[in-house]
């Protein structure tokens, strides 16, 4: 972790603070002794509350809150950790613009298990040229589909096979026969499922399934806070969770 220059704890500003993930971040924070909680902002926060005085911003809001996020940052080049999925090209461009002046770490999934799964998927995709399909299952209130993690896993298949990305994705998978080389992505919504992802490799007479099941959102919160501590003091640009976890070689 990168302590503040004075050795004091780093102040974390939280955006999307009252949401499911925001709550998990707040309850996970005491387990990170180098971090303290600063301003917590959601839709109803007073307009006067901003991220002045914070060392790093953690964002678990929604795609449509991207403009308000940067308003609350007030043009400051603050390190930004974001776990928001489903952003459109314009919203992603706002993150790119911020990365020109500050360190940014966006990840579709902050769990260690999914970081491992992604690497296994790339290796399996390279090793066997069976039909690859990604399936994900989430709770009934998740708005975006397919999940950002499912798209990340489909991209991992493309990486392993040197397929063009995102041109090789069929997301969401619709009707019609499978085309050679395509990577289908399917989603299901229901109940209180925290998040399940399976990558199927389907051959003739056999198949391999690689699955990750998250049972507690706190794994994402701890991953994001670990990333926040790591990001402070880094150079401007996009950084990866693999670098935080030390698995980027």
Ligand X SMILES: NC(=O)c1ccc[n+]([C@@H]2O[C@H](COP(=O)([O-])OP(=O)(O)OC[C@H]3O[C@@H](n4cnc5c(N)ncnc54)[C@H](OP(=O)(O)O)[C@@H]3O)[C@@H](O)[C@H]2O)c1
Positions annotated as catalytic residues are 138, 142
On whether the CB atoms of residues 153 and 117 are closer than 8 A, the answer is yes
CB of 73 to ligand X, least distance (A): 12
**Within its chain, how far is the Cα of 202 from the centroid?**
27
| Contact characters 108-137, ligand X, x per CB under 6 A | xxx---------------------------
| Residue span binding ligand X (CB under 6 A) among the ranges 104-112, 162-170, 180-188, 226-234 | 104-112
With a CB cutoff of 8 Å and minimum separation 6, the contacts of 222 are 28, 31, 32, 110
Answer for which of 9, 36, 37, 42 binds ligand X (CB under 6 A) is 42
Answer for which of 107, 117, 132, 137 binds ligand X (CB under 6 A) is 107
* C-alpha closest to that of 91 among 70, 122, 115: 70
Helices (H) then strands (E): counts for the chain: 7, 11
56/86 Cα distance (integer angstroms): 22
| Residue span binding ligand X (CB under 6 A) among the ranges 77-85, 117-125, 152-160, 201-209 | 77-85
29/225 Cα distance (integer angstroms): 7
| Residue span binding ligand X (CB under 6 A) among the ranges 57-65, 162-170, 175-183, 197-205 | 57-65
70 binds ligand X per the rule CB under 6 A: no
CB of 21 to ligand X, least distance (A): 3
């Amino acid at each position: 972790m990168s302590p503040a220059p004075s050795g004091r704890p780093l102040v974390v500003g939280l955006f999307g603070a009252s949401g499911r993930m925001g709550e998990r971040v707040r309850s996970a924070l005491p387990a990170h002794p180098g971090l303290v909680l600063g301003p917590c902002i959601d839709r109803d926060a007073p307009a006067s509350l901003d991220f002045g005085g914070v060392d790093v911003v953690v964002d678990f809001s929604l795609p449509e809150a991207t403009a308000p996020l940067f308003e609350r940052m007030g043009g400051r080049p603050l390190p930004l950790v974001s776990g928001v999925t489903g952003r459109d090209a314009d919203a992603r461009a706002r993150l790119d613009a911020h990365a020109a002046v500050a360190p940014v770490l966006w990840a579709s999934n902050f769990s260690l298990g999914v970081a491992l799964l992604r690497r296994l998927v790339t290796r399996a995709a390279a090793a066997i040229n069976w039909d690859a399909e990604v399936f994900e299952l989430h709770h009934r209130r998740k708005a975006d589909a397919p999940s950002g993690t499912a798209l990340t896993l489909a991209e991992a298949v493309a990486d392993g096979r040197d397929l063009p990305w995102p041109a090789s994705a069929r997301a969401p998978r619709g009707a019609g026969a499978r085309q050679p080389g395509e990577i289908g992505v399917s989603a299901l919504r229901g109940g209180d499922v925290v998040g399940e992802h399976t990558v199927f490799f389907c051959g003739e007479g056999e198949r391999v399934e690689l699955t990750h099941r998250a049972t507690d959102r706190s794994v994402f919160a701890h991953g994001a806070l670990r990333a926040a501590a790591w990001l402070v003091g880094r150079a401007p640009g996009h950084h990866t969770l693999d670098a935080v976890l030390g698995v980027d070689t």
